[in-house]
Structure 1
Amino acid sequence: MNLRQLKYFLATAELGQVSRAAGELAISQSSVTTAIRDLEKELDTVLFVRTAHGMEPTPAGRELMETARDISERVEHARTIGQGHTDIAATINVAATYTVLGYFLPFHLDRLAHRFPNLNIQITEMNRENIEEGLMTNRIDIAVLLTSNTSNPELETETLLRSQRRLWVPQNHRLQNIGRASFKEIAEEDYIMLTVDEAANTSIKYWGPTGLIPKVKLRTSSTEAVRSLVANGQGVTILSDMVYRPWSLEGRRISTVTTDIDIPSMDVGVAWRKGQEMSEAVRLFHDYFIDTFHSPQLPTRL
C-alpha cells in the first residue's frame, strides 16, 4: 500500500466516479482503476460497488476513507512543519455545536496549537441559536457549526465539509442485503431518532417529501446510544458519515445502506458576523480551515 493508491482511492470515493477522480488528478482513468484494484487485492476486500449514481464505497471502503483522510491530513501536517507559523499572541473566542466539537474539531485544534503556539483558542459548546446570538453581539469571534442548519442573513458562512447521510442498520439486516433501501421500507422499521444539533428537525427535510412518517421507537440526544441501539437490532436510523463508526461500544457491527431518494448532506463550516473586520488572530483561524479544506493535497510519496 502506498500514498498514491490512497490518494486515487480517496478522490474516487469523494467524487463518486473514476472519470471525475481522473480528471481532478489529471491522470488516466486506468491509473485510478489499477490503484483501486491493487488496494482491494492487498486488503482482500471490495471497496466500491457500481451504482446508477457512480462508485459507491462499501462499508469497508468507508472505513478506509476515514483512515485515508487521517493519513492525508497527517502527511500534509508533516509537510508544513516550519511553514506558516507565527508568534502572534492573542485570545479568540470560538463557539462550536455538539456534533462539530465531538467529531470534527479535536484533530484541527491540535494542529492549530502546533502551528500557532501563542494563539489561545477559547472553545465554548453552544447550540445554533446561542451561537448566532453570540456572533451578532460580538461575544463570539467565529464559530464552527453545521452550516446546513444555518440561514441567518446577518451571518457569513463558509462550508468546509459535506458529509453524506445514510441509513444505519445492524449487521445482516434485510435492508443491508438488498443494497438500496426505499423510504417505504425504512418506514416499516422501528426508528431511533437522534435529537442533538437539530437532527430531528433536519429529518423533516428528507422524510417530509416522501409523505411517510418514521416509526420512532426512541428519541435521544446521545449518538452513542443510537449507535448501540442500532447495532443491537432495536431499530434503524439515518445519520451522516461523519459520526458513523462501524462498531458499537459492545463490539457489535453497524452497516450503512444508501437510499432510493437522495438525502441532504450534513455540512460543516465556519460562520462569522457579516461585515465583521476580523482580527489577525481570527483571520489565522479562519484561513487555516479554508486552506485545509479548499486546497487538500495528498502527496504521492513522502
Structure 2
Amino acid sequence: MTLSLRQIRYFVATAEAGQVSQAAVNLSISQSAVTTAIKDLEETIGAALFERTPHGMELTGAGRRFLSQAYEILQKVEEATQPSLVSEEVTGTLSIAATYTVIGYFLPFHIERMKRRFPGLSIQLFEMNRESVEEGLLANRYDIAVMLTSNILNPELVAEKLLSSQRRLWVPARHRLLSESQIGLKEVAEEDYIMLTVDEASHSSMKYWSQTPYLPKITLRTSSVEAVRSLVANGQGVAILSDMVHRPWSLEGRRIETISLTDPIPSMDVGLAWKRNAEFSPTMDAVRAYFRRSFSVPE
C-alpha cells in the first residue's frame, strides 16, 4: 500500500485535535474518511500510531515519532508546491487582536505555524471583546484582527471570511431527541436550554430564534463553553453551538452528541478584519497571505 499526503494530513489533524470527530470538523470531511486514512496509514507503516481510548486518540510511541516526520514532509511539500507570494524573510512586529472564541479554539495552531514560517516575525496577540477589537483597529492600536466576522458591525472595517462553522444542537448521550428523524427549534424549545453568552453568542442565537414563533427555555446563562459542555453532558439542558467549539466529551468524561436542525441556523464565520483603506505593511501582507493559502481564499 502506498503512502499518501492525504493520509499524512489526516494523521496530523487527528494528532493535533486528539479526536477523529474534531479532526473531521477541522478538515471539513467525514469522520469515516479520517478513520479509513489512519487505518491505511498504520497498515502501510506497519505500526499502530494511535491508542483508541474512551476520550479520544492518544499517540503511541511510533505515532509520536511519525508526527515529527509528518510535519517535515508537509512543510517541504508546501514549500515546493505553494511558493510564497510574500517573502518568508519578512521581519518586524505585528499586533493581532482576537476575540475569546477565536483565541481559544482557532488561533493557537495558526500562530505556531506562522512563527515557523516567518521566524523573523514577532506577533503580539491581544484578546478582547468585539467592540474593543473594532475600536482598536480604527485607532490603529492593532494591525489586524482574527475574529467572528459574522458579528462585525462597523462599516469602517473590512472583513474577509476564512471559514464557516456550522451550528448544531448539543445533547447528552441517549437523549430522547437522538431517536427522532427530524428536529427543529420547535422541539428544542421544549427542552431546558443552556445559553452561552461569550462573544455575543446569546445575541446571535436570539436573531435566529426571533424568526420563529418559539423561544428557548433558558435555565442558565454562562460565559464558559466548558460549563455548557459539562451541563449538557450531565443532562442539565441542551445548547446550540458551532462545530468549532464542540468536543464529544465533557471534563467528567461524559459524551456529548450533536444534531443537525431542520430550521435554518446561520453558521459562525471566522476571518480577518482590518481598517478600511489601511496601508498594508509587509508583516500584514505575510499574515493575510498565510491565511488565504491555508483556507483557499481567492486573492
Q: TM-score range by the shorter chain?
A: 0.7 to 0.9
Contact kept, 8 Å, 2:162 with 2:297, in 1: the verdict is no
How big is each residue's C-alpha offset from its partner over 1:243-272, in whole Å with a ceiling of 9 and x where there is no partner? 000000000000000111120000000000
Note the C-alpha offset of 1:182: 1.7
Which of these residues, 77, 83, 87, is aligned with residue 79 of structure 1?
77
Runs of 4+ in 1 over 3 A off after TM superposition: 1-11, 13-16, 35-40, 73-78, 81-85
Cα distance change of structure 1 residues 211 and 194 upon mapping to structure 2, 3 Å threshold: same
Which of these residues, 36, 39, 48, is aligned with residue 36 of structure 2?
39
Cα distance change of structure 1 residues 193 and 10 upon mapping to structure 2, 3 Å threshold: closer
How big is each residue's C-alpha offset from its partner over 1:117-162, in whole Å with a ceiling of 9 and x where there is no partner? 1111000001110111111111110000000111321111100010
**Could you tell me the percent identity over the aligned residues?**
54
Q: Does 1:250 align with 2:252?
A: yes
Contact kept, 8 Å, 2:249 with 2:255, in 1: the verdict is yes
Letter in 1 for 2:188: I
Contact kept, 8 Å, 1:240 with 1:266, in 2: the verdict is yes
Question: Residue in 1 aligned with 2:268?
Answer: 266
Question: Residue in 2 aligned with 1:148?
Answer: 150
Gaps of 5+ in 1: 17-34, 44-62, 65-69, 297-302
Note the C-alpha offset of 1:4: 4.8
Cα distance change of structure 1 residues 78 and 151 upon mapping to structure 2, 3 Å threshold: farther
Question: Residue in 2 aligned with 1:203?
Answer: 205
Mapped partners of 1:128, 1:169: distance in 2? 29
Note the C-alpha offset of 1:206: 1.4
Question: Residue in 2 aligned with 1:169?
Answer: 171
Q: Does 1:131 align with 2:133?
A: yes
Note the C-alpha offset of 1:109: 0.4
Cα distance change of structure 1 residues 78 and 195 upon mapping to structure 2, 3 Å threshold: farther
Cα RMSD of the aligned pairs, angstroms, is 3.3
Mapped partners of 2:199, 2:246: distance in 1? 16
Contact kept, 8 Å, 1:179 with 1:257, in 2: the verdict is no
Question: Residue in 1 aligned with 2:49?
Answer: none
Cα distance change of structure 1 residues 106 and 238 upon mapping to structure 2, 3 Å threshold: same
Note the C-alpha offset of 1:10: 6.7
Question: Residue in 2 aligned with 1:96?
Answer: 98
3-state DSSP class of the match of 1:109? helix
Note the C-alpha offset of 1:179: 3.9
Which of these residues, 95, 119, 122, is aligned with residue 120 of structure 1?
122
Letter in 2 for 1:224: E
Contact kept, 8 Å, 2:24 with 2:34, in 1: the verdict is no
Count of aligned positions = 252
Contact kept, 8 Å, 1:180 with 1:257, in 2: the verdict is no
Cα distance change of structure 1 residues 6 and 117 upon mapping to structure 2, 3 Å threshold: closer
Question: Residue in 2 aligned with 1:288?
Answer: 290
Contact kept, 8 Å, 1:77 with 1:111, in 2: the verdict is no
Note the C-alpha offset of 1:92: 1.1
Letter in 2 for 1:121: I
Note the C-alpha offset of 1:14: 4.0
Letter in 2 for 1:271: A
Contact kept, 8 Å, 2:159 with 2:274, in 1: the verdict is yes
Q: Does 1:227 align with 2:221?
A: no
Cα distance change of structure 1 residues 15 and 247 upon mapping to structure 2, 3 Å threshold: closer
3-state DSSP class of the match of 2:169? strand
Q: Does 1:277 align with 2:279?
A: yes
